[in-house]
Amino acid sequence: MAEKADKTEQAADRPLLTRRRLLGTASAAGAAGLVAGGAAGAFGDRALRERPTALTTVGSAALPFHGSHQAGIADPAQAHGHLLAFDLAPGAGRKAAAALLRRWSATAAALTAGQVPDGDSTGIALDAGPSSLTVTFGFGRSFFDRTGLTARRPAALEPLPAFTQDALDPKRSDGDLWVQIGADDALVAFHALRLLQRQAQDTARLRWQMNGFNRTPGATDRPRTARNLMGQVDGTNNPKPTDSDFAAKVFVPGDHGGADGWMAGGSYAVVRRIRMLLDSWEQLSLARQERVIGRRKSDGAPLSGGTETTPVDLAKTLPDGSLAIAGDAHIRVAAPASNQGAAMLRRAFSYHDGFLDDGAPDAGLLFIAWQADPMKGFVPVQRKLDRGDGLSRFLRHEASGLFAVPGGCAEGEYVGQRLLEG
Amino acid sequence: MAEKADKTEQAADRPLLTRRRLLGTASAAGAAGLVAGGAAGAFGDRALRERPTALTTVGSAALPFHGSHQAGIADPAQAHGHLLAFDLAPGAGRKAAAALLRRWSATAAALTAGQVPDGDSTGIALDAGPSSLTVTFGFGRSFFDRTGLTARRPAALEPLPAFTQDALDPKRSDGDLWVQIGADDALVAFHALRLLQRQAQDTARLRWQMNGFNRTPGATDRPRTARNLMGQVDGTNNPKPTDSDFAAKVFVPGDHGGADGWMAGGSYAVVRRIRMLLDSWEQLSLARQERVIGRRKSDGAPLSGGTETTPVDLAKTLPDGSLAIAGDAHIRVAAPASNQGAAMLRRAFSYHDGFLDDGAPDAGLLFIAWQADPMKGFVPVQRKLDRGDGLSRFLRHEASGLFAVPGGCAEGEYVGQRLLEG
């Protein structure tokens, strides 16, 4: 409940998110032309219509698909996430891509409202509410050449620079199209993935896929930030939707013009699969781990004092004259004050895909950074981290992508329409 | 909430489970010598002790580790599951295995009670309640030769017969030791996995690992049975803890004697990784899918009529004279009436590990069947399914294991002690 209340609060500044809906009962939703819980479509004449009981808020929470920005950016990350990249099939160009984005948008709009799209007989998400499902679509650099839209490719889609710590797998990097799915229920998320993948079949082929997770709603009473698999509170210094400069940091201005004017209201997503070297990390004492990060593990408070939300005092010294936040502490090197105010919204999922040949866990962070301009967000911060971050010894960046995520669409439109038909 | 109420109901017949605890506040748990939410141990002197708010029931629900049966068998399957198999390291014998099971049992007892074990500085599950964590330990056939305990190996651990539908990967099958972890929160489950894996380091090596999931509590108001990734209600005909013959079907009798008398109160787990051929399955119409299974997809009611819990009428004919439940329908071939009353408790997790080279989803069911005797449970049913089940065209059994899961232990004891010290 605490988490849900927080979601509403965090979303308060995105006007459309104040329309966050709780689909309380099947009959109430039915009156609006929908049937909650995925009971419509192929299953419309069946017993679920008579379902007497209400979903809890976990299942019934719905985030609107339509709006000035796409969902899945300013909303808190859900308990389950899928990241997918597709490459257009040989011969599929701008027209086929437009048709695909139209199909995808219609499906995403239906699913996020708790409807079953026409003709869906999978039944995977039957009984469940939309469970805060979001679906977010983006375009990779390669998309523009393949669709004859090179002239409208944003300058911000220049390839990311190489970092010395990178060990990137090209097969799990980049891609023409990117889809981010998030939901608080695993079957709701999987259902969306299956339908979108099948709709792509003749037009685009799955290039890579990654599955991630966050805390289950109600598993913790910690109201704000998540923990990652290193046990560290993560995301404390994220811009907040209630900040006056939140939109300026995260979204391309709504009046953005020029060849890439279609990106008005959009954002750029930097996606990094960051494996954590947990065997090494967990050998460190608690005190050493905390010095590497610069925050206490228990509550996320900076080692310069206070609580999690206390501003970090980078100048503070200890009685012995040493810096409270070490010179190579992660939060010092990553701090906006160390990077000309650069900022991005990090909205991550943890991942865990088993173990590697040497027994080490194949686990870490599906890092997703959102910003109005990657050259003023991820790139300068990562350049600095690459050189001086004490944490980088315990991380491997194994995959990378940069995607242009257009603004949201209104009902009857589809995501990317201004690019593909403009 | 509906799901939680149901968990309590299903568990009612296992006496120890009536001790299911809700760790309401840190202070209440602290009075019992524990600190809820994983704040003790290395983090004991930190801010979490002062945490003022209560966890919700998702996080605070706790299942006791100690008891006459191990946890994770009669309890409803959680939202997240990990299955692990270990092989003893060269040179590690009965003594080393005993020491490992003692360490594992102590850790499992602490974690399931919401405590952090001594010396744990991972912090992964900090802030979370135990979230219905269970940890279940078992022994594979190969364990007994390696520990000099061949004479005490149960006859029930004879290798499973080969089935024509099998396409088993030996690297992901069998193993000396088996561990099943379940929790309603992903980080709680991962934390348990990390600690147990690290404790095994010198004694046993990870052989295989599988991750699975079920619905998030509160995502659906369906009170009883789960859906699988084929969209089908699954588990309707499971024995219920309230059935008078539940214990006889699932557990070895408490007065079991002889060379394998150490299995008294235990159970046998058949573990099968069953990939679903979803691309083919989803090509079928809804009506065809329902004929293959023998139940309606929407609500799980048998095609012979009634609701999900109505007994299946295998003899019922339609007006045109054909059988309501087709001759090769899954529920006909699997029905206890078709198998001399054979029964097992299926307690599964879905899995989804991305996609295969041909683009097909690498997804399906981590099928776990619990029974007092596999030769009267899984084996006869699977023999029949192997020959005549219309569903088997859409399934691939890719991994298999059979494990002897001893009875539970009392406080101060460890799981398997009667075998390893008897």
Q: What distance in Å separates the CA atoms of residue B93 and residue B145, rounded to the nearest whole number?
A: 10
**Can you tell me the distance from the alpha carbon of B72 to that of B135, in angstroms, rounded to the nearest whole number?**
7
B220 contact residues in A (CB cutoff 8 A):
37, 55, 59, 127-129, 185
Indicate yes or no: CB of A297 within 8 angstroms of CB of B126. Answer: yes
Mutation to test the B interface, candidates A48, A84, A221, A309, most B Cβ within 10 Å: A221
Which of A39, A184, A222 is the closest to B127 by Cβ? A222
Give the per-residue pLDDT at B53: 36
| Cβ–Cβ below 8 Å for B218 and A219 | no
Q: Nearest CA of chain A to the CA of B280: how many Å?
A: 11
Residue B214 C-alpha, separation from nearest chain A C-alpha, in angstroms:
7
Element (H, E) at B250: helix B246-250
Contacts of B126 in chain A (CB under 8 A): 227, 231, 297-298
Average pLDDT of the segment spanning B30-37? 31
Q: What is the pLDDT of residue A226?
A: 85
Nearest beta carbon to residue B359 from set A121, A128, A206: A206
Of B55, B194, B213, the CB nearest to A278: B194
Å between B27 CA and nearest CA of chain A: 14
Hey, are the CB atoms on A211 and B354 less than 8 Å from each other?
Answer: yes
What residues contact residue B53 under an 8 Å CB cut-off, 6+ apart? A2, A221
Report yes or no: B212 and B164 within 8 Å, Cβ to Cβ: no
What is the dihedral sign for C-alpha B201, B202, B206, B212?
A: negative
Chain A residue closest in CA terms to B60: A219
Residue from the list B209, B211, B220 with its beta carbon closest to the beta carbon of A55: B220
Could you list the residue range(s) of the whole structural domain that residue B105 is in? 1-422
Using a CB-CB cut-off of 8 Å, the residues of chain A touching B124 are 227, 229-231
Average pLDDT of every residue of chain B? 87
Reference A48, options B218, B296, B310, B79; nearest CA is B296
| B36 has pLDDT over 70 | no
Contacts of B51 in chain A (CB under 8 A): 221
* Residues A110, A207: Cα–Cα separation, whole Å: 25
What is the model's pLDDT at position A22?
46
Q: Do A56 and B284 touch (CB under 8 A)?
A: no
Please report the number of interchain residue pairs, chain A to chain B, with beta-carbon separation below 8 angstroms.
241
User: What residues in B contact A24, CB-CB < 8 Å?
Assistant: none
Number of domains in chain B: 1
Residues of chain A with pLDDT under 70: 1-56, 223-224
Given a contact cutoff of 8 angstroms between Cβ atoms, the answer to whether B212 and B366 are in contact is: yes
pLDDT of res. A27: 31
Give the pLDDT mean for B374-380: 94
Phi, psi of B339 (to 5 degrees): -135, 40
Contact residues, chain A, for B200 at CB < 8 Å = none
- Distance (Å) from the C-alpha of residue A155 to the closest C-alpha of chain B? 32
Chain B residues closer than 8 Å to A59 by CB: 216, 218-221
User: For residue B270, which phi and psi values (nearest 5 degrees)?
Assistant: -100, 125
How many angstroms away from the CA of B386 is the closest CA of chain A? 24
Which residues on chain A are in Cβ contact (under 8 Å) with B56?
Answer: 1-2, 218-219, 221
Q: Binning pLDDT at 50, 70 and 90, where does residue B26 land?
A: very low
Range B399-421 average pLDDT: 98
Per-residue model confidence as pLDDT tens digits over B290-347: 999 999 999 999 999 999 999 999 999 999 999 999 999 999 999 877 777 778 999 9
- Per-residue pLDDT reduced to its tens digit, B234-263: 888 899 999 999 999 999 999 999 999 999
> Is the CB of residue A344 less than 8 Å from the CB of residue A376?
no
Query: Nearest-CA distance from B117 to chain A in Å?
Result: 14
Under an 8 A CB cutoff, do B229 and A51 touch? no
What pLDDT sits at residue B348?
97
Pairwise CB contact (< 8 Å): A184 & B216 = yes
Cβ of B1 within 8 Å of Cβ of A124? The answer is no
Q: Nearest chain A Cα to B38, which residue? A: A298
- pLDDT digit string, tens, across residues B262-294: 999 999 999 999 999 999 999 999 999 999 999
Question: Is residue A234 among the annotated active site residues?
Answer: yes
Q: Which among A84, A154, A65 is positioned nearest to A414, based on CA atoms?
A: A65
- B76 has a pLDDT exceeding 50: yes
Active-site option among B75, B176, B234, B389: B234
What pTM was computed for the model?
A: 0.89
- How much is the pLDDT for A31? 29
Closest CA to B182 of B395, B347, B361: B347
Cα–Cα dist B257/B253, whole Å? 9
Measured between beta carbons, the chain A residues lying within 8 angstroms of B50 are: none
Question: Looking at the DSSP assignment, which residues form a beta bridge with residue B234?
Answer: B226
Cα–Cα distance measured from residue B218 to residue B56, given in angstroms and rounded to the nearest whole number:
12
The pLDDT of residue B224: 59
Which contiguous run of DSSP H or E holds residue B274?
strand B267-276
Distance of residue A360 Cα from the nearest chain B Cα, in angstroms: 10
pLDDT(B144) > 50: yes
pLDDT tens column, B210-230: 999 999 988 887 765 789 999
Least confident of A176-190, B14-28, B192-206: B14-28
Given an 8 Å threshold on Cβ–Cβ distance, is B128 in contact with A220?
Answer: yes
Interface with chain B: mutation pick from A23, A202, A220, highest number of B CBs within 10 Å:
A220
The pLDDT of residue B29: 32
Report CB contact under 8 Å: B185, A278: no
Task: Determine the pLDDT at residue A343.
Answer: 85
Chain A residues touching residue B227 (CB < 8 angstroms):
123-124, 126-127, 187
pLDDT of residue B158: 96
Q: Residue A16 region, left (φ>0) first, then alpha (ψ -120 to 50), else beta?
A: alpha
Task: Please pick, among A87, A120, A174, A234, the residue that the annotation labels catalytic.
Answer: A234
Contact B185 A353 (CB under 8 A): no
Nearest CA in chain A to B42: A286
Question: How many CA atoms does the CB half-sphere of A313 hold within 13 Å?
Answer: 12
pLDDT at B223: 65
DSSP B96-162: HHHHHHHHHHHHHHHHHTTPPPTT----TTTTB--TT-EEEEEEEHHHHHHTT-GGG--GGGSPPPP
